[in-house]
């Protein structure tokens, strides 16, 4: 039903969304997220965009060959549009020279090894998972921290401490506390200096460098006999 109503054999990414339902517009708002990990295995080539989809080299051709893409005549064409009688035919708006000509020669050599199948169906694999199958968790990890796990972050949220303390520590680690320096960035007109120590009031200054902070840490050191652990604050 969706294919017949919206895509009309152009594929999801090539389908229009103006004047469609709120449901279809919502999908189009997040479609760029799926492209981060989608790799296309081209068979027929009638639903894979030549320049915008990753079907050669793990990334879109418009990124690999930016110079050629800027002078192409059909930037939104599918792979099948550039195939004529078993040969590749990519129309350009002007002649090439210099670095762009070298890009074109490299692209042309890569395309010579690519063949289309009139009866095959395109496939999509998910590069963010070893199984190549789409998993929402892998996309979520990519959105939150680029797919690389932060061990400090994991330890913090697993600690058995009040949630408000966890939130405060998370804000301190990521430099999100409402310090004077942060307020100045938001067009606050006051002085960015600490009123006690006459230095920039950053997160690090409030928690460790200010004389009041060092006094508190020294009290903690002496109260719990942490001479070696808190030697930084030894007076």
Please determine, for residue 235, whether its predicted confidence score (pLDDT) is greater than 50.
Answer: no
pLDDT tens digits along 147-171 = 566 677 778 888 899 999 999 988 8
Q: How confident is the model at residue 229 (pLDDT cuts 50, 70, 90)?
A: low
Looking at residues 21-39, what average pLDDT do you find?
Answer: 81
Please determine, for residue 58, whether its predicted confidence score (pLDDT) is greater than 70.
Answer: yes
Name the 3-class secondary structure at 108: helix
pLDDT tens digits along 196-209 = 888 888 999 999 98
Please determine, for residue 67, whether its predicted confidence score (pLDDT) is greater than 60.
Answer: yes
Element (H, E) at 88: strand 87-88
Q: How confident is the model at residue 101 (pLDDT cuts 50, 70, 90)?
A: very high
| pLDDT cut 70: percent of the chain above it | 91
**10 Å Cβ neighbour count for 68?**
23
Closest residue by Cα to residue 140 from 13, 52, 34, 29: 34
> What's the CA gap between 217 and 207, in Å, rounded?
9
Looking at residues 58-82, what average pLDDT do you find?
Answer: 91
Instruction: Read off the pTM.
Output: 0.54
Please determine, for residue 106, whether its predicted confidence score (pLDDT) is greater than 70.
Answer: yes
pLDDT tens digits along 167-199 = 998 888 888 888 888 888 888 888 888 888 888
Domain extents for the chain? Answer: 36-142, 150-233
| pLDDT cut 90: percent of the chain above it | 17
Most confident of 18-22, 148-152, 172-176, 226-230: 172-176
Question: Mutual orientation of helices 163-173 and 151-158 as an angle, nearest 10°?
Answer: 160
Phi and psi of 154, rounded to 5°?
-65, -45
Query: What is the DSSP secondary-structure string of 3-61?
Result: IIIIITTS-STTS--TTS-HHHHHHHHTHHHHHTTEEEE-SS-SSSBTTTS--STTS-H
């Amino acid at each position: 039903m969706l294919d017949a109503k919206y895509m009309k054999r152009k594929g999801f990414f090539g389908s229009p969304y103006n004047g469609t339902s709120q449901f279809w517009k919502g999908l189009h708002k997040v479609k760029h997220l799926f492209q981060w990990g989608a790799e296309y295995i081209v068979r027929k080539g009638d639903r894979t965009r030549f320049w915008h989809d990753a079907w050669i080299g793990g990334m879109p051709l418009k990124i690999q060959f930016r110079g050629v893409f800027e002078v192409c005549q059909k930037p939104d064409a599918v792979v099948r549009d550039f195939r004529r009688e078993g040969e590749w035919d990519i129309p350009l708006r002007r002649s090439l020279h210099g670095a762009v000509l070298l890009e074109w020669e490299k692209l042309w050599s890569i395309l010579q090894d690519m063949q289309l199948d009139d009866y095959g169906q395109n496939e999509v694999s998910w590069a963010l998972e070893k199984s190549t199958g789409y998993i929402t968790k892998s996309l979520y990890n990519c959105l939150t921290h680029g797919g690389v796990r932060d061990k400090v972050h994991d330890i913090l949220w697993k600690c058995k401490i009040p949630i408000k303390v966890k939130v405060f520590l998370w804000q301190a680690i990521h430099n999100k506390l409402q310090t004077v320096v942060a307020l100045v960035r938001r067009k606050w007109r006051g002085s960015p200096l600490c009123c006690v120590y006459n230095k920039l009031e950053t997160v690090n200054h409030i928690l460790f460098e200010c004389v009041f902070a060092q006094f508190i840490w020294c009290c903690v050191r002496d109260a719990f006999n942490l001479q070696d652990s808190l030697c930084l604050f030894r007076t």
